[in-house]
Amino acid sequence: MRLKLPMHSDKIRLRDREQFLTRLAVLMKEGYLLPVALTLLLPMHTSKLEQTLSGITVILKGGGNAAEILKFLGFKDHVLFPVEIAEYHGRLPESIDSIAKSFSRTEQVQKKLKNILIYPVSLLIFTSVLFLFFRTSYVPNLTEMMKSLQSGDETAGVPAYLLSLPDFFIAVFLAAAFSVYVFGLLLKRQEIHQQIKWLLAVPILRGFMRLYWSHLLARELGTLLHSGISMQESLDLLQRQNYHKIIQFMTRLSHEELMMGQTFSTSLEHLSFISKDMPAFVQHGEMTGYLGKELILYSEVLMERIEQQTQALLRIIQPSFFILIAVCIVGAYLAILMPMYNLVHTI
């Protein structure tokens, strides 16, 4: 059962959350208890120190755990999930350190994406403004000049729609962003099995989500098994956590098959939303007796695959924007030169 957090918990926001988690992991590895480590770190990461410390005190007095404290500090469910599981296998400092590294990878990807997009997006917006000036000032004058030089049915205006290409592309991007926003809102209202179907129906997301879910399951289950907890109990713990509903759904399906006498690797073969090679990898671990260690290794392999696919996607984004800008520029040349060409033939 989750502890009811203080009413002002939504106002707490930490600065440099990656550094906060890294320092917290270091202090806990050195033997500091969680409350003491938080007391040392929070003055460097929040301007609302008294409010934060009083909120943490309320949580601790109410029997709250590390996940509840981090939730109070503004961390999302994807952080709270491994922290709650760490309460059972006893490797909380290692889990927090792993989360900090994940934060670092995410921030690096976000920073790289920002650097990749800032120039082409700015150029596309500038091109749109420039073409708007052409449409409002240059095109009318050119059209009037052509009308004065041509006669009757031979009159042809400037194809101004070619100068609207930047506006069209920007409108497409805005429509796509709005569609993603609406998709996210509708997705949250669906049942878990329906959420999985929706995510796997998106071609770009399908491969990423399978790798990501498999990575999470392998990492947390592997850590539990490696800590000496049985398969049955590990799956039961993953079912009882409330911070990642899809992992909860996956482990419930596997646990049901284990209760019917199936092996864990066999149960994974019936899940269509995990990495295709995961059942074979798990089967090898079951045969060798080192399933926990091999699942942890497998989770690291999956994370490397996710990073490789992310980097490949980032390499495609910037050239795609430059191609769109090139199309806009070619359209502008055609819009200006085609009327001139027609005019030469009529003189």
* pLDDT recorded at residue 346: 58
What distance in Å separates the CA atoms of residue 326 and residue 333, rounded to the nearest whole number? 11
Q: Where are the beta strands (DSSP E) in 120-247?
A: none
Cα dist from 22 to 82, 84, 220, 228, whole Å: 15, 18, 19, 26
Q: Does 182 score more than 70 pLDDT?
A: yes
Q: Does 146 score more than 70 pLDDT?
A: no
Range name among 4-13, 192-201, 208-217 with the lowest pLDDT average: 4-13
pTM of the prediction? Answer: 0.77
State percent of the chain over pLDDT 70: 89
Dihedral (Cα; 118, 120, 124, 125), 10-degree rounding: 10
* pLDDT recorded at residue 8: 44
Higher-pLDDT residue of 1, 224: 224
Q: Does 264 score more than 70 pLDDT?
A: yes
Domain(s) of CATH 1.20.81.30: residues in the chain: 197-308
Instruction: Give the mean pLDDT of 14-35.
Output: 88
Q: Are 327 and 164 in contact (CB under 8 A)?
A: no
CATH class of the domain defined by 197-308: mainly alpha
pLDDT single digits (tens) 323-333: 888 888 888 77
Q: Does 128 score more than 90 pLDDT?
A: no
Half-sphere exposure of 73 (CA within 13 A, CB side): 27
Instruction: Give the mean pLDDT of 25-49.
Output: 89
At which residue do the structure tokens 């994370």 appear?
303
Instruction: Give the mean pLDDT of 136-158.
Output: 63
pLDDT band at residue 7, thresholds of 50, 70 and 90?
very low
